[in-house]
Amino acid sequence: MTRWGMVIDLDRCTGCAACEVACKSENNIATVPPHQAEMGRVMSWMRVLAHTVGDFPDTHLEFYPRPCMHCDNPPCIKVCPVRATYIDPEGIVGQIYPRCIGCRYCANACPFTVKYFNWYGPEWSDSERQHLNPDVSPRTKGVIEKCSFCHHRLQRAREQARAENRDVREEDYQPACAEICPTRAIVFGDLDNPTHHVAELKEDPRAMRIMEDLGTQPKVYYLRARR
Partner 1 sequence: MRREVAEKLASLPPDERVLLRPLVDTSRGFYVMAGVFGAISLLGLVSYILQVRYGLGRTGLNRPGYWGIYIICFVFFIGISHAGTLISAILRVSKAEWRRSITRSAELITVLVIGFGAIQPVIDLGRPDRVLNVLLHAQWRSPLLWDVISIGLYFMSCTIYLYLPLLPDLAIIRDSGIKAPRFYRFLAAGYTDTPVQRHRLERAIGVLSIVVIPIAVSVHTVIGWIFAMTLRPMWHSTIFGPYFVMGAIYSGIAAILVAMAVLRRVYHLENYFKVVHFDYLGRLLLILSLLWFYFTFAEYLTAFYGGEPGEMRTFWAKLTGTFAIPFWAMVLGCFVIPLALMSRQATRTPVGTTIAGIAVVIGMWLERYNIVVPTSVNPRWEVESIGHYLPSWIELSIMAGTFSGFILLYMIATKIVPIVSIWEIKEGRAVVQEVADRVAKYSESYA
Partner 2 sequence: MRPTRREFLWAMGATAASVGLRWSSDLVWAPQVPDDLGWAPGTEQFVNSACLICPARCGIRGRVVDDRLVRLGGNPFHPMNAGGLCPRGIAGVQMLYHPDRIASPLRRVGERGADSWEEIGWDEALGQLGERLQSLRATGRPEALALMAGYCAGSMHDLWRQFLRSYGSPHYVAEDYDDGTSAVMELMHGIARRPGFDLERAGFVLSFGSPLFESWWSPLQAFAAFAGPDGSDDGRTRFVQIDTRFSRTAAHANDWVGVRPGTFGVLALGIAYVLIRDELYDAGFVERHVSGFEDYTDREGERRQGYRSLVMRNYRTEEVSALTGVPVARITALARAFAQAEHSVAVFGHEVTHAPSGLLSGLAVHSLNVLMGNVGREGGVLFGNDPPLDPLPDPRIDAVARAGLERGSLARTPAPFGGGDPASRFAAAVGDSPSETIDTLLLYYANPLASSPRPDAWREALERIPFVVSFSPFLDETTAHADLILPDLLAFERWQDAPTPVSYPYPVWGVARPLVAPPPGGKHAGDAMLAVARQLGGSVAASLPYDNVELLLKARARGLFRARRGMTLGDAFELEHHRQMEERGWWLPEHTEFEAFWDELVQRGGWTDLFLDETDPARLARTPSGRVDLTPAPLLATLAAAGRGGALYMDVAETSAATTDEFPLRLLPYRVSTLSSGTVALERWLAETPGLFPEVHWDPWIEVAPATAEAQKLGDDTMVWVVAASGRYRARLKVFPGTAPENVCAPYGLRHPDGELANPLQLLDGSSDALTALPNWSTTFVRLEPA
Partner 3 sequence: MIAQRLRDTRGRVRPYLVLALGIALIAAVVLPVIALGSSRVPQPVAFNHLKHTQDLGLGCEFCHPYARTRAHSGLPDVTTCSMCHTSPQGTSAEAARVTELITAGDLLRFNKLFRMPDHVFYTHRRHVAIAELSCETCHGDIAHTERPPVRALVKVDMDFCLDCHRKQGATLDCNACHR
**Residue choice 80, 150, 187, 201 for contact with partner 1 (CB under 8 A):** 80
In angstroms, the CA 217 to CA 5 distance is 11
- Cβ pair 26, 74 in contact under 8 A: no
Write the interaction track for partner 1 spanning residues 157-186; mark x where CB under 8 A is met and - where it is not: ------------------------------
**207-208 β-sheet, strand order:** 186-190, 4-9, 220-223, 207-208
Interface positions, 204-223, toward partner 2 (CB under 8 A)? none
In angstroms, the CA 6 to CA 9 distance is 10
The site partner of 55 among partner 2, partner 1, partner 3, none (C-beta below 5 to 8 Å per kind) is partner 2
For residue 185, give the 3-state DSSP assignment: coil
Beta carbon of residue 44, minimum distance to partner 2 (angstroms, whole number): 6
Could you tell me which residues come within 8 angstroms of residue 126 by beta carbon, excluding any fewer than 6 positions away?
A: none
Q: Which amino acid is at 222?
A: Y
- Cβ pair 75, 111 in contact under 8 A: yes
160 scored as a contact of partner 2 (CB under 8 A):
no
**Residue choice 101, 128, 183, 208 for contact with partner 1 (CB under 8 A):** 101
Between residues 139 and 196, which has the closer beta carbon with respect to partner 3? 139
86 scored as a contact of partner 2 (CB under 8 A):
no
**Residue choice 155, 183, 200, 208 for contact with partner 3 (CB under 8 A):** 155
Kindly report whether the peptide bond that precedes residue 57 is cis, defined as omega within 30 degrees of 0: yes
Interface positions, 156-185, toward partner 3 (CB under 8 A)? 158-159, 162-163
In angstroms, the CA 124 to CA 133 distance is 13
Q: CA angle, corner 23, sides to 95 and 111, nearest 5? A: 50
Number of residues this chain uses to bind partner 3 (CB under 8 A): 20
- For partner 1, the binding residues (CB under 8 A) are 36, 39-42, 49-51, 62-64, 75, 78-84, 99-105, 107-109, 111-113, 116-121, 140-144, 210-211, 214, 216
- For partner 3, the binding residues (CB under 8 A) are 86, 88-89, 92, 94, 96-98, 135-138, 148, 151-152, 155, 158-159, 162-163
